Chains A and B, each alone.
Chain A
Amino acid sequence: EVQLVESGGGLVQPGRSLRLSCAASGFTFDDYAMHWVRQAPGKGLEWVSGINWNSVNIDYADSVKGRFTISRDNAKKSLYLQMNSLRAEDMALYYCAKDYGSGSYPQVSHFDHWGQGTLVTVSS
């Protein structure tokens, strides 16, 4: 059974940093691309960042480019999101999501498994 467990969320002041983690199990982690998707309270889904199986291809939403860094450790079966210079508009539930494929064909990419999310609150 695929399991994705996020951690690292919490209350942080504007301008500060936070690092999210996602522990994966139940599948061959290094065969698949992975993503972070967020959802602000009462709002819709927003893709944040994605990384292919070998970390060669990485993309970011314009809203976080230059502030967030995605990475993965295939040996530890873990996905990370380093979030710097946090803003009030970054406050959201952050989901870790598994891609259906390795990331080689993004045109057909979709998210076939999701974690339960970790909440990031940005407030002074």
Chain B
Amino acid sequence: SYVLTQPPSMSVAPGQTAKISCGGHNIGSKNVHWYQQKPGQAPVLVVYKDSDRPSGIPERVSGSNSGNTATLTISRVEAGDEADYYCQVWDSSSYVFGTGTKVTVL
């Protein structure tokens, strides 16, 4: 089965940039989607099809995908960005989520 690997955690200071990686074999050939989940809440879609943003998601949130790594970038990080982030793809009739990254804002 297809595996998506994310760093378990990362810390970033307010105003800095957070780059969350999602590694998978030849992931650049797939469409990658990203979700934000705050404690006690349901996930929220923040990026779809590698780099598109749903309405209401700020421009400082962006995505890219190439080779074996997809990346979610959050610029000018704010306290409200503190959350778990999951990448997701479709592979062989199954939807696969990444292992998740907990982002802590210092």
A residues at B contact (CB < 8 Å): 35, 44-47, 50, 59, 61-62, 95, 100, 106-117
Contact = CB atoms under 8 A, between A and B. Distances in A.
- Interface pairs A-B: 7 shortest CB-CB: A110-B33, A47-B95, A114-B42, A44-B100, A45-B97, A110-B48, A108-B31
B100 A62 contact: no
B54 A112 contact: yes
Interface string B9-39: 0000000000000000000001101010100
A109 B95 contact: yes
Given A45-B86, A45-B88, A107-B31, 8 more contacts: A44-B97, A45-B35, A50-B95, A62-B94, A95-B43, A107-B90, A110-B88, A113-B45
A47 B49 CA distance: 18
B15 to A, nearest CB: 28
A113 B43 CA distance: 8
Given A45-B86, A46-B97, A59-B93, A111 B1 contact: no
A74 B85 CA distance: 32
Interface residues of B, number: 25
B96 A47 contact: yes
Contacts of B97: 44-47
Interface string B36-78: 0100001111001100001000000000000000000000000
Given A107-B31, A114-B42, A116-B42, A44 B99 contact: yes
Given A45-B100, A100-B48, A114-B44, A109 B86 contact: no
B36 to A, nearest CB: 11
Interface in B82-106: 84, 86, 88, 90, 93-100
A59 B33 CA distance: 19
Contact of B94 (A44, A59, A112): A59
A117 B31 CA distance: 26
Given A44-B86, A61-B94, A114 B54 contact: no
